[in-house]
């Protein structure tokens, strides 16, 4: 097996480096944990875990997570955009120092949240125009609540805009149950929790005409949130049928021609996760379990040091004893981080990514932009946008 350290650099990866990383994961039977982050603290926890596990990792931000990171006291319509970009800039400032590849990703974007998506793409375009790469590595459109035709059509239009910058697109077809970040699918028709091979191929057929940098979140009974194993019927073997059907339709030499992702993995058994990865899942979302881990670290600290956290002065050692070293945020936040680090390492081990990328222990630099020599990259974006618009116009003329 080719060592991924020889072909992918540490730090935030985009474009061809991202493709190489995901192809390596698919070819070598492992998936990369994608962890939702809402602060620099949670992002640093993920980076620390990946460094300790010698694993590539994905840091992703949701619409609500971006708004929280911006500051809940700031009531502006662009808060989700501002916070998401801020998280990306923070990760770009520190990622390379951790010595492992990091994918910067935005999570579920429903139709009602498209202005958030547009804002992040604008930031990508501005960053690309200056430095020749996008700010983010990838973005997700989740239009699974819409009819398939509309879902795919909107994805096609956005992918035309993203492809010139080599931004990866993740899309969802078939619905992930449960509730996450304001999108509630708790009462959805159970049949919609299972995507068909024909649906997945329709996505492949439409997007592959634009580019190859895309992945599909195909539902196989997944549910967001926490549940006990056995309470939800997962059928990860269905993913193998998707691969086989598309392979047949395009006569692909690859056994797994589609990049697949897994959502709603909390509570999944090791066997279910393993089956999903075997069938081409290269990314698994993690949120509920890491949220609990972060809180649990704080909960245990408060329980252990309760009597030292009731006032600034006075504790079991004496009425005049100061408690600053207990209530200092750096102390109890660190306990939360340590617990989250442990949980992310567990995910790396379960997904098989642990040990795949021995962390580079020396060097590092911020990745906030380095002007590229040669043709102005903005011209590529403009050319891609023009070609996309022309193709759309031609399609409309033909359909008339």
Residues taking part in catalysis: 107
Going from the C-alpha of 127 to that of each of 44, 123, 130, 135, the distances in angstroms are 23, 6, 5, 6
Tally of CB atoms within 10 A around 244 = 15
The DSSP call for residue 236 is T
- As a whole number of angstroms, the distance between CA 110 and CA 172 comes to 10
Tally of CB atoms within 10 A around 1 = 8
**∠ at Cα 183 (143, 264), nearest 5°?**
85
Tally of CB atoms within 10 A around 209 = 10
Q: Are 255 and 3 in contact (CB under 8 A)?
A: no
DSSP 144-198: TTS-HHHHHHHHHHHHHHHGGGT-EEEEEES--BEEETTEEETT--GGGGB--HH
Q: Are 28 and 41 in contact (CB under 8 A)?
A: no
């Amino acid at each position: 097996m080719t060592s991924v350290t020889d072909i992918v650099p540490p730090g935030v990866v985009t474009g061809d480096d991202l493709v190489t990383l995901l192809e390596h994961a698919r070819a070598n039977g492992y998936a990369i944990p994608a962890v939702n982050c809402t602060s620099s603290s949670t992002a640093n926890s993920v980076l620390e875990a990946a460094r300790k596990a010698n694993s590539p990792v994905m840091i992703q931000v949701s619409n609500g997570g971006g708004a929280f990171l911006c500051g809940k006291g700031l009531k502006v319509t662009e808060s989700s955009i501002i916070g998401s970009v801020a998280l990306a800039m923070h990760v770009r400032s520190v990622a390379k120092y951790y010595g492992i590849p990091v994918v910067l990703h935005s999570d579920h974007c429903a139709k009602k949240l498209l202005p958030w998506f547009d804002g992040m793409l604008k930031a990508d375009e501005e960053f690309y125009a200056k430095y020749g790469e996008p700010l983010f590595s990838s973005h997700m459109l989740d239009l699974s609540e819409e009819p398939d035709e509309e879902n795919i059509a909107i994805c096609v239009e956005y992918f035309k805009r993203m492809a010139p910058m080599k931004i990866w697109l993740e899309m969802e077809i078939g619905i992930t149950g449960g509730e996450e970040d304001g999108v509630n699918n708790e009462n959805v028709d159970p049949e919609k929790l299972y995507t068909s091979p024909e649906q997945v191929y329709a996505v492949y057929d439409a997007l592959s005409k634009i580019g190859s940098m895309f992945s599909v979140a195909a539902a196989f009974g997944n549910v967001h949130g926490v549940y006990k194993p056995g309470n939800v019927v997962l059928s990860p073997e269905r993913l193998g049928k998707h691969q086989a059907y598309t392979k047949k339709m395009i006569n692909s030499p690859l056994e797994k021609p589609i990049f697949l992702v897994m959502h709603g993995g909390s509570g999944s058994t090791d066997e279910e996760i393993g089956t999903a990865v075997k069938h081409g899942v290269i990314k698994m979302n993690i949120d509920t379990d890491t949220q609990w881990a972060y809180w649990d670290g704080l909960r245990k600290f408060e329980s252990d040091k309760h009597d030292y956290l009731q006032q600034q002065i006075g504790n079991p050692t004496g009425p005049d004893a100061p408690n600053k070293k207990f209530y200092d945020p750096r102390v109890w936040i660190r306990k939360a981080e340590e617990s989250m680090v442990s949980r992310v390492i567990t995910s790396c081990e379960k997904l098989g990514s642990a040990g795949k990328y021995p962390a580079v222990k020396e060097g590092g630099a911020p990745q906030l932009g380095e002007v590229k020599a040669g043709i102005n990259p903005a011209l590529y974006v403009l050319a891609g946008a023009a070609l996309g618009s022309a193709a759309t116009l031609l399609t409309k003329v033909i359909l008339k």
